[in-house]
Amino acid sequence: MGLFISIYSLVESLSMLGISVFYMITLSDLECDYINSKTCCGRLNKVVIPEILLSASVALLHLIDMQVILFLYFMLMPAWTIYKYATVPSGNLGVFDPIEIHNRQQLSLFIKETMVKIGYHLVAFFLSLYWLFVLINSSFMYIFILMKITACSALVSSIFTFRFFGNYEYTTLTKKFHLSC
């Protein structure tokens, strides 16, 4: 279960990084007047709900897997986005409003927020990648430990064999398994 969650978290971090880059490109196009504010805000508002759902799903999966620290880290961005979505004034079209985006330096504020999101998702990606390596390494470690236990149990059984059947089998098996245990 942990391996699946880690892989899903890695894919989610990459997709959220792509969404953040999409935000940055769209906002910089608006800043350079390549697109109008209605088109820009329409594009960005379409992505807000999927962003919340993707981010919250990976956070909840970490909570189900009892990884509280990862849950707290991955819940930061959806909590902030839900807060922004819930506090939209009643007359606005969404989180990004075409009328107010040029007022009160909101465009530069959105660009700064997007840069923070890109940094956050980069850290989330590397955190997920690290956690995936830890899980893969620990699963291989369990296999190695089981192999070691098997080799040591063979040595123990060889000692009992020596007691009942003589010296030849004991010395042969001890030489084989002595370095393993």
Co-location of 49 and 70 in the same domain: yes
pLDDT at 47: 94
Domain of residue 156: give its range. Answer: 141-177
Q: How far apart (Å, rounded) are the C-alpha atoms in residues 144 and 42?
A: 55
Co-location of 45 and 25 in the same domain: yes
User: Is pLDDT above 80 for 24?
Assistant: yes
User: Is pLDDT above 60 for 83?
Assistant: yes
Average pLDDT, the chain: 83
Co-location of 9 and 83 in the same domain: yes
Co-location of 99 and 151 in the same domain: no
Q: How far apart (Å, rounded) are the C-alpha atoms in residues 42 and 38?
A: 6
Q: How far apart (Å, rounded) are the C-alpha atoms in residues 134 and 12?
A: 18
Co-location of 7 and 29 in the same domain: yes
Co-location of 114 and 147 in the same domain: no
Co-location of 94 and 14 in the same domain: yes
Q: How many domains does the chain have?
A: 2
